[in-house]
Amino acid sequence: MSDTWAPVSFERTNGKTPLIVVCEHASKEIPPEFSELGLKSQHRASHAVWDIGALSMAREISAALDAPLVFGGVSRLLYDCNRPPEAHDCIPEKSEVVNVPGNVGLDPAYRKARALLIHDPFHKAVEGLIDAQMQRLGCPIAVVTIHTFTPIYHGKPREVELGFLFDENEELSRAACRLEEKRGVYRAALNQPYAAADGVTYTLLRHADDRGLPSTMVEVRNDLVDTHDKASCVGKHLAETILQSVNEILPTREIAV
Amino acid sequence: MSDTWAPVSFERTNGKTPLIVVCEHASKEIPPEFSELGLKSQHRASHAVWDIGALSMAREISAALDAPLVFGGVSRLLYDCNRPPEAHDCIPEKSEVVNVPGNVGLDPAYRKARALLIHDPFHKAVEGLIDAQMQRLGCPIAVVTIHTFTPIYHGKPREVELGFLFDENEELSRAACRLEEKRGVYRAALNQPYAAADGVTYTLLRHADDRGLPSTMVEVRNDLVDTHDKASCVGKHLAETILQSVNEILPTREIAV
C-alpha cells in the first residue's frame, strides 16, 4: 500500500557506539494526500525537496561505526524537521527558486497539523533514540547530523566541499574540521556554506547543545554524492573522521570498530 | 534497505471525517537488531506477534469513511503500544503459550529503551493526529481502535465474533453494539472477549476518555479476517456501523460518505 507514510524511521538501534546519526532531510516522499504540493515535475527530485545523497551517506556512517540512525520519512517541503514550528520557513512557500504552490497561503490550522504529524513524532523519536542510547551505554553520546548542499546557489558556485557547523558547542566540529584539513581529501571549512545565524541549528540546539552533548552538523556538496556509489565513498571517508573526532571529544569511551 | 523500521505510520491524514482509526498491533515486523526475539518459527506470524487481519480492516474503514489512520510499525512483542510503560506486560516474556526468549530478564535500561523508541513516537503521533484532525475540522472527533482476537484461548473456544470495548466512556461502544445486534450479521457483545479490567484500554483512556472524546475499541475474532478478502469484507461491514454510531454520538457533524 503506497498510501502509507512514516514521519520517522530507525536503523541499527542497538548500535554499540556513543553516537547517533540524524538525517532530517533524507526523503523526497510526498504522500498522496498532499497532491505533490503542486510542484513542477522538474523540481520533484531536486534539492528543494530533499538532501540528495544524505541518507546514503548517513547509512554508510551508521554501518561503519555501528551507530544508531534516525531519519525523516517525508520531504522537507511538507515540514522541515530542522526548523522549529515557530520558524516561518518550516513550511516554505518558496525554496531558492522553486515555488511550492501547496504551501502558499496555508491556513494556520493546516500549518499546525503539519507540525503535529511530522515535526512532533520526528523529534520525539530523536529524543527517544538519544535517551535509549545513553541508557544502554551508561555514558554521554555525540549527535551527528548529515546534510547536503547545492554546488550552485542563486547562480553562485560554491567552492567548499565539506562543512562542519556548530551552534553553542564547537568542540566536535573543530576536531572534525582539523582532521579533514590534515587528511587533505576535500576542501573543508567550519560553518560553511551555512552557519547558526541562518537558522539551521535547531536539531543541534534542541538535542545536543541544550543537553550538554557534543554535536556537529555535517554538510556535503551534493555533486560529490549524487549517486549511491559516490555517497557510499564519501560516507566511508566521513565515518573515519567522525570516529577519530568523537574519540578525541569523548575519550573515556574510545570507539573501536 | 530492509534494516529500516518505523515506529508509526499514517494514511489519509487529510481525511474529512471527525474520526480517526488507530491500529496498535498492525505489524508483525521485528527489525534485524532484535534477532527475531528468539521466537520459534511456528510462532513468528501468530497472534502473539500481531493482530492478524487488523490492519487490513483498519485500512478498509479508513478508506470507506475518509478518516485518517495511524498504525504501529513493529510487533507488539517488542513493545505493546496498547500498554503504558509501567505495565509489566508492555514487553511480555510470554504471550498465552508463546515464550519470547528475547524479552526474558531484560535489563531495565533495555526495557526503557524499547519504550523510548516505540511507545513514545507512536503515542506522540496518535496525539498529533487527533489534534491535527480537530484543528482542521474545528470540532471534536471520535477515536476508534481496531483489534483482533484468537478463536481459541488457553484451549477454550470463544463464541463472540465482535466486541466493542470501553473504559470511562461507554456511549460509542453501546451505540455500535446496538447497531450490530439490529443488523444481525455477527455475534456482537460489549466488553468481550476482554474488558477494561484486563488492562487493555490504555489507548482509549489516554487519547479519548481523558480528553472527553467518544471512543470504542473494536475486537474481531481473527478467523473471520485471516485473509485480505475476508478482512476487507468485515472492514466494509464495520465502516457502516461506525459511521452510523458516530453520527448518533456526534450529531452536529453528520458524516456523509
Question: Concatenated DSSP letters for A53-94?
Answer: THHHHHHHHHHHHT--EEEE-S-TTT--TTS-TTSGGGS-SE
pLDDT tens string B9-47: 999 999 999 999 999 999 999 999 999 999 999 999 999
Q: Which pLDDT score, from 0 to 100, does residue B1 have?
A: 47
| pLDDT tens-place string over residues A21-31 | 999 999 999 99
**Residue B96: its pLDDT value, please?**
86
- The whole-number pLDDT of residue B253 equals 62
Q: Which residues contact B98 (CB under 8 A, 6 or more apart)?
A: B39, B40, B43, B46, B48
pLDDT of residue A188: 98
Task: Give the per-residue pLDDT at A255.
Answer: 67
- Average of per-residue pLDDT across B228-241: 98
From residue B36, alpha-carbon distances to A233, B27, B75, B78, B88 in Å are 32, 14, 10, 10, 21
CB pair distance less than 8 Å for A128 and B121: yes
Given this model, what pLDDT does residue A1 score?
Answer: 47
Among B147, B127, B131, smallest CA distance to B139 is for B131
Closest to B171 in 3D by CA, of B67, B252, B245, B65 = B245
Q: Determine which helix (DSSP H) or strand (DSSP E) holds B202, and give its type and residue range.
A: helix B202-207
Q: In chain A, what residues touch B3 (CB-CB under 8 Å)?
A: 11-12
> For position A2, what pLDDT does the model report?
63
Beta carbons within 10 angstroms of residue A64's beta carbon: 19
Percent of chain B at pLDDT > 70 equals 96
- State pLDDT tens for residues A108-121: 999 999 999 999 99
The confidence band for B256, taking pLDDT boundaries of 50, 70 and 90, is low
CB atoms within 10 A of CB B138: 9
Amino acid at B66: D
Distance CA A162, CA A32 (A): 35
| Share above pLDDT 90 across residues of chain A, in percent, rounded to a whole number | 95
Pick out chain A residues at pLDDT < 70: 1-2, 251-257
Q: Which residues of B lie inside 8 Å of A (Cβ-Cβ)?
A: 1, 3-14, 31, 33-34, 59, 73, 109-110, 112-113, 116-117, 120-121, 124-125, 127-129, 131-133, 135-136, 138
Express each pLDDT in A157-200 by its tens digit: 999 999 999 999 999 999 999 999 999 999 999 999 999 999 99
Give how far Cα A192 sits from Cα of A61, A175, A200, A219, B22, Å: 21, 15, 11, 8, 44
Distance CA B85, CA A214 (A): 29
- Would you call A158 helix, strand, or coil by DSSP? coil
Q: Grid coordinates representing A213?
A: 552533548
- Cis amide prior to A193 (ω within 30 degrees): yes
Measured N-to-C along each axis, helices B228-249 and B171-183 cross at an angle, to the nearest 10 degrees, of: 120
